[in-house]
Chains A and B, each alone.
Chain A
Amino acid sequence: MNLATGIVNDAASSRFLVPRKAFTDQELFEKEYRAIFNRCWLYLGHASELPEPRTFVTRTVARRPILFTRDKDGEYQALFNACPHRGAMVCRERNGKAGAFMCMYHGWTFGSDGHLMTLPGGAGYPEDFKRDPQKQMVHVPRLARRGDFFFISFAEDGEDLDTFLADAGDYLDLVSQHSATGMAVVGGTQEYSIRGNWKLLAENSVDGYHAACTHSTYLDYLKNANGALGATPLSGSGIDLKNGHAVIEYSAPWGRPIASWVPLWGEEGKQEIEAIREELDKRLGSERADRLATKNRNMIIFPNLVVNDIMAITVRTFFPTAPDNMEVNAWTLAPPEESDWLRKYRLFNFTEFLGPGGFATPDDVEAIEKCQRGYAANNNDMFNDISKGMAREGEPSFDDEAQMRAFWIEWDKRMSECEG
């Protein structure tokens, strides 16, 4: 069957083909903003980034400047970071604590809930000017949380966050359950760009098929680094979490600071990891605790939130600025109660594989950028093959492509439903 966007999805012949135009076309790119980024719930930030009343962070979400604050009562607020007067960005700092935000242009000053507190030269305006709804900072239409993960939607209507998240919600909860007291973002953000279409990173983030080739040097490194590798083989499954969300859940030979020990960490480390495991068993029951501790998860929440719970946890968003360019932000989460030793290993572990300076991500970037260049070869008439595993009996393997097909089917649905 041919989907509306030209995607071929034919179970009978085990064919799933995505037209390369989906990665290069300027009109499709603009339509993605209308159909997807202006409609879906998008990740904004984590509760731990705003630890007390009057703290704030600024962020760009789907090309829009957002001011994410807690007001004086501690309530979370998501505001468009633009002055109602002339439109200048009001808050120009990355994060901090402030009781009020003054626009640098004419000095209009707003509370952390966005209301206009004072403006210079008020005598030049009508008496009730300050209370005019048009003169307040504008709230993002919808803000909601799942656990400590905050999402916004630029659409006034549409499904609520839990409905949108479908089966991915429980996987987010699983990440939160690494800690009894709630996970926290560790200071330091990896902020970079990739010269490729954003959907290539969505695919790559849950691609269990590419590791052996793309990341051969990383796998060599693990073999060379004495004791970095346990005996557990790579194996697991790809799971469709509905609404375009998907995860691969699998066992792997590398260490996990949440209770999967490897010899590199020594006997002292082993005792600490065992204690963590015991607490998990007690709190979550042995079945869920075992899954949390021993299984790795690479999850994509449609359209652009990746939560990888692997040798460390990364929370990553990416937004297209053009068909062939995206901006990526990545954070890491950790249990606030973990020891200094484990925190150090967690961060050491993270940087080994992940991020622009790791032993693996640069090669993912190379693959994405080379795909984008390759698309110029054939005038958009060609298709990408995403069919791996369609012919397989039983549940999809982690190195099949069922999880990518789930993403593409949702992409097709949202793009074809959007008029104009």
Chain B
Amino acid sequence: MKLAEGMIAPEQLLRLRVEDLLTREADLLDRWELDQWLDLYTDDAHYYVPPSDVDGDTASPDTSLFYIIDDRTRMQERVVRLKSKGAHSEWPRSKVRHLVSNVIAERTDAMILARASFMVSRAKDITHDIFVGHYRYKIAEIEGALKILEKTCVLDMEALRPHARISIIL
């Protein structure tokens, strides 16, 4: 279909809407606005980080040992923990910067599927670690707004080295 001048194709609009969502998420995480970050997710959401020696695009947390297997309850508890001074690994808080790019989005019957590349920098004390990988999102459209159903952070790294931890939210 040829679009009139100034119009935007639906698939481009979808990508822009997803990019807005991902940019907002990155910004909230960088500013440690973790309660607001949770609001981007549905009540039955999941957050996963598979290890480097399985195919992170296809591995299941039900059958492989992951780094992170969070359901919504554990995501909330993760935020509670990270806001506490007793989360020693993140106290004082590290400086975090999420760079998100190469966003691809497609609409299926049930949901929106999106992928994006990321580099996440964590600096604290004498350590400065870079996490590199790609996100796989499942996104729901609820009353016209986009909410995240599932986020999987696939590390494009051979091991979590020299890193020792994923104590921030990727």
* Interfacial residues, chain A to chain B (CB-CB below 8 A): 94, 186-195, 214, 216-218, 220-221, 224-225, 325, 327, 331-332, 340, 343-344, 347-348, 350-352, 355-357, 359, 361-363, 365-367, 369, 373
CB atoms of B53 and A191 under 8 A apart? yes
Known contacts A220-B81, A220-B84, A365-B164; decide if A188 and B89 are in contact (CB<8 Å). Answer: no
A344–B90 CA distance with the chains assembled, in angstroms: 28
As a 0/1 sequence over residues 66 to 85 of chain B, the CB contacts with chain A under 8 angstroms (1 = contact) are: 11110001100110110010
- B3-11, B15-23, B55-63, B104-112 - interface stretch: B55-63
In the complex, the chain B residue whose C-beta lies closest to that of A191 is B159
CB atoms of B160 and A192 under 8 A apart? yes
A312–B78 CA distance with the chains assembled, in angstroms: 20
Residues of chain A within 8 A of B81, CB atoms compared: 217-218, 220-221, 359
Q: How many residues of B contact A (CB 8 A)?
A: 39
CB atoms of B88 and A351 under 8 A apart? no
A356–B164 CA distance with the chains assembled, in angstroms: 6
A369–B126 CA distance with the chains assembled, in angstroms: 10
* Interface residues of B, dominant DSSP: loop
A325–B88 CA distance with the chains assembled, in angstroms: 20
A273–B38 CA distance with the chains assembled, in angstroms: 34
* Interfacial residues, chain B to chain A (CB-CB below 8 A): 49-54, 59, 61-69, 73-74, 77-78, 80-81, 84, 86-90, 126-127, 159-167
In the complex, the chain B residue whose C-beta lies closest to that of A215 is B86
The 8 closest A-B pairs by CB, nearest first: A188-B65, A191-B159, A357-B67, A362-B89, A357-B68, A188-B64, A362-B165, A362-B167
A377 to chain B, nearest CB (A): 14
Interface-central residue, A94, A189, A352, A356, by most chain B CB under 10 Å? A356
CB atoms of A365 and B64 under 8 A apart? no
A and B contact pairs by CB, cutoff 8 A, 27 listed: A187-B54, A187-B64, A188-B59, A188-B66, A189-B51, A190-B160, A191-B161, A192-B160, A192-B161, A195-B126, A195-B127, A214-B88, A216-B86, A217-B80, A220-B86, A332-B65, A347-B65, A347-B69, A348-B61, A356-B163, A357-B66, A357-B67, A361-B165, A362-B89, A367-B88, A369-B127, A369-B164
CB atoms of A350 and B88 under 8 A apart? no
Residues of chain B within 8 A of A325, CB atoms compared: 162
B118 to chain A, nearest CB (A): 16
A325–B162 CA distance with the chains assembled, in angstroms: 9
CB atoms of B160 and A221 under 8 A apart? no
A48–B84 CA distance with the chains assembled, in angstroms: 41
A331-B65, A351-B67, A356-B166 known; 12 other A-B pairs, CB under 8 Å?
A187-B59, A190-B65, A221-B80, A225-B74, A340-B62, A343-B62, A344-B62, A347-B65, A355-B67, A356-B164, A357-B67, A359-B78
Residues of chain A within 8 A of B167, CB atoms compared: 356, 362
In the complex, the chain B residue whose C-beta lies closest to that of A350 is B65
Interface-central residue, B68, B165, B167, by most chain A CB under 10 Å? B165
B132 to chain A, nearest CB (A): 15
In the complex, the chain A residue whose C-beta lies closest to that of B52 is A191
Residues of chain A within 8 A of B62, CB atoms compared: 340, 343-344, 347
In the complex, the chain B residue whose C-beta lies closest to that of A328 is B164
A351–B159 CA distance with the chains assembled, in angstroms: 17
Residues of chain A within 8 A of B87, CB atoms compared: 217, 362-363
In the complex, the chain B residue whose C-beta lies closest to that of A359 is B81
In the complex, the chain A residue whose C-beta lies closest to that of B158 is A191
Known contacts A217-B86, A356-B164, A373-B126; decide if A186 and B65 are in contact (CB<8 Å). Answer: yes
A344–B66 CA distance with the chains assembled, in angstroms: 11
Residues of chain A within 8 A of B61, CB atoms compared: 344, 347-348
In the complex, the chain A residue whose C-beta lies closest to that of B50 is A188
Residues of chain B within 8 A of A366, CB atoms compared: 88-89
Residues of chain A within 8 A of B49, CB atoms compared: 357
A186–B66 CA distance with the chains assembled, in angstroms: 10
Residues of chain A within 8 A of B65, CB atoms compared: 186-190, 331-332, 347, 350-351
Residues of chain B within 8 A of A225, CB atoms compared: 73-74, 77
